[in-house]
Structure 1
Amino acid sequence: MLVAFSVTPIGAGDSVGDAVAEAVRVVRASGLPNRTDAMFTTVEGEWDEVMAVVKQAVDAVAAVAPRVSLSLKADVRPGVTGALTAKVEHIERVLNQG
């Protein structure tokens, strides 16, 4: 499955970058395939392992903020691996046929 999520600290001041960096650190340490962009971090793996990483990322932000907002979108496709890169590669192939 792919899970795209965004964790936002609330009530921890104007700058959220340091807290968000801690969440991304948790994701990268998980060893699961992942990608971070300006809006979301996407993680690929099995349900239980991906959700555990999301929870750990939320906990990392909650350690420095009294409240945490979590936005999550999931693509649940049992047995499919490599979707994190395959979806983008497909789009690039189509665009390059132009």
Structure 2
Amino acid sequence: MDSMIIPFIMLLIITVVLILERTYNEKKIVDIYEDKFLQWKKHATLNNKEKNCKQLVGLVFLENEKLTIDVLDKKAEDRLQKKQYTLKMKN
């Protein structure tokens, strides 16, 4: 019986050491990947494409065979005075 106690204790010690080493290495690997993920988030470029939406800047009325434009935005008024606009016909 005494002859089996020493190998059993050795196996128990080896098992405990291997379990502790595994948990240590797992934590180390998780920390490395978390650091890499944080670095990736810093250096990653986000592809935020802004959509060009139509914006209401004025109203066009036909009164007594004459076109009247009511401008709601000052920037649009400058463009109208500089004749920077296009006409689109919709049926």
What TM-score, normalized by structure 1, do the two folds share? Answer: 0.21
Larger Rg: 2
The structure with the largest strand share of the pair is 1
The structure showing larger relative contact order (alpha-carbon pairs under 8 Å, at least 6 residues apart) is: 1
Scaled by the length of structure 2, the TM-score of the pair is: 0.22
More helix by share: 2
